[in-house]
Amino acid sequence: MSTIRRAAVLGSPIAHSLSPVLHRAAYAELGLTGWSYDRFEIDEAALPAFVQGLDSTWAGLSLTMPLKRAIIPLLDAVSETASSVEAVNTVVLTQDGRRVGDNTDIPGMVAALRERGVEKTDSAAVLGAGATASSALAALSEICTGPVTAYVRSRERGDEMRGWGERLGVDVRIADWADAEQALRAPLVIATTPAGATDVLAGAVPDAPGTLFDVLYEPWPSGLAATWSARSGAVVGGLDLLVHQAVLQVEQMTGHAPAPLAAMRRAGEEALAAR
């Protein structure tokens, strides 16, 4: 299939993004020889002009920080999933010229957990309160039947998480970050914090931990994930999330399903190993 089609990931900073590696691996596996996938350093100020300049060769965009919310006013339609957390990480450009936004982070999280055998949990803990934490709450709304305790550093962040919980139908309880060691006793812990933030918790991992979903993929493993694995706990990593959300993006942008999960994961692992 040699039709020229373009896609790209936008964000700032963007040089570290693994998205080109994953999407290009999918195109190669699917035989989409006319497809290209690039990365562009774009901030919020530059985003409107970039989107306005897209021509009919463009099939889609991936959005990373700080653009997941900034893209929304530039779209013709936004999926219910993306609206639920006011964050779009995927834009599909339709044949009739419409720009349709979606969020594949949320179903990507659910798929990554299910791949490791986590179908349901009766409670969970979330470390952090940023944009990824709201996506985590949306994912937990599908698989968690009980309360979710969010460990946060400020009252304002706590109020935000409680608000997201009310919006998403999740029973969110707020705890202070100083007590974050208690989170590690939950059957499912989702760490959404930046690199290094949970290292101080590694020494508190219990002897028989449940499942840790650490959204980091570089550096990997995090100190917390390494200790968790050493104590025979199940670990889902950021690369798992990245691959699963990219699989959904490839399927939406190309119309080819299923996307080649194994080939995309292998490409991501090789790229990280080479860094």
Q: What is the CA radius of gyration of the chain?
A: 19
Angle at 28 between CA 24 and CA 30, to 5 degrees: 115
Alpha carbons 188 and 119: distance in angstroms, whole number: 11
150 exposed, middle or buried (CB, 10 Å; 0-12, 13-18, 19+)? buried
Q: What are phi and psi of 62, to 5 degrees?
A: -105, 140
Q: What angle do CA 254, 256, 262 make, to 5 degrees?
A: 105
Sign of the Cα torsion 163, 142, 212, 125 reads positive
Per-state percent for the chain, helix, strand, coil, to nearest 5: 45, 20, 35
* Coil vs helix vs strand at 219: coil
Q: Mind telling me the catalytic residues?
A: 68
Q: Token match 């290292």: residue? A: 199
- 239: part of which helix (H) or strand (E)? helix 238-254
How is residue 69 written in tokens? Answer: 């919310």
